[in-house]
Structure 1
């Protein structure tokens, strides 16, 4: 995840009354309409998709198993995107998998953002002993393989969506901590922070009123970039079978269950893989736009 940290550069120092940093934006960069449209369609699909076809998430029919897309299965029912090895409708399972991926992307990244931002703010503003202790803990968290944490949590707790939330949050928070700490180390030497100290503001008040608003653009950019990473993490965890329970659909578990039929039933792995690709690329494109939008040093690209 270090490449995500490098992708978000700290804002240039330009203090003003109130403690916020503004960047001049003479022009406006065109919104990434295509990625935004893909994300909107995936969201709508996740919300209303299961209601469009009268099949349950785990409802199968062995006579209709392995029906190709846009065909009628052996059970006499039409399946838009085909069926899997147990006769379960792919369209419905993709919709439920979209719910899981988008929910994990939002909630897992929010949890990582909360933990990492607090660690970064405290490490940057407090004394060197606290800074050293927090950063050594961050280094230890970065050195542990991510999937190892997910497998450990799955072996301790019952596989559930909450376990996936916690796994994603624990895997992604160190990136926020390192980024925010670097920005706070620059900002705490600014004039508006010095004036706030002279005025008698407490450390907590300086963090909330002066530091947090200035690092918020970088938090937004990194969070947008990491939603795509969270989708990949969730798919990887589910692919290994340590994410959701076996009866729950997710894109990663669909690929895992269909890989032994790749030579004969390509849609079992190709369609979920395409959805993962579209989701990750769309969130990455949106994050790249946000990075250029909030970085004052990239004005020429807007």
Structure 2
């Protein structure tokens, strides 16, 4: 089915044979070789808009070069077998940024159902700003139902080797799982932490900021509390038994003393950086540390490699094909 300048609704349509719905890039030819005149449509977009696939069996359906920004997928079956080909466009999150929520709305492709849910579930008017207002016919879905749609379409895009767009739908699935109050609270908090640290392993900038911040904090705390004033010196004590000529020495090492005075010196920075970089690769620097410094190093040896691993995962998920 080749269309131009059309808005179509396939709700509850029954397709007996495999079907491709596509936008025709050129005017249709008439009998005799002439082209269909389209002057009356000059200035309008020839892209076809699909508004609904509710109740459709999408097992043998192909969409090519279709505008899907308003398309409703709720109620369709076999969405995981739907083939999205060509330049199909989905809706996107609204552009929004604030000091309180600097990563609140990451730019990504979304389904119309998520936009509708955010408008209906917004407790404050400003939180619904920029999202598409649903029509009266649009179904009211819970986050769990929207997550299922994202999961099925994500598999469809992955099967078509469209990994970047599939990553956006995986992000949407995780968002809906995070808002699903029927899930355990521990799982929702884990998803919230995963989102804040690396955007579900998909936001490269966010995933790179956290390791850099962790390195900076570790270096600063090691310089401030972790390095002793001076390198501990070994002490020797001797005992001379009465009436004997034998001398026994016991060698011990004094405990590191907490730093005092100016801690912002180049030497302390170099030592702190050495400790921090070694902790990233699970190595001990061998540097004498205070009790606080020992615990700081132990924490960094656990946290920083995990943060760097998430950053590598985010880069991999955005560039793989």
More strand, by proportion: 2
Above 0.5 in TM-score? Answer: no
Bigger relative CO (Cα 8 Å, ≥ 6 apart): 1
Q: Which structure has more helix as a fraction of its residues?
A: 1
Name which one, 1 or 2, has greater alpha-carbon Rg. Answer: 2
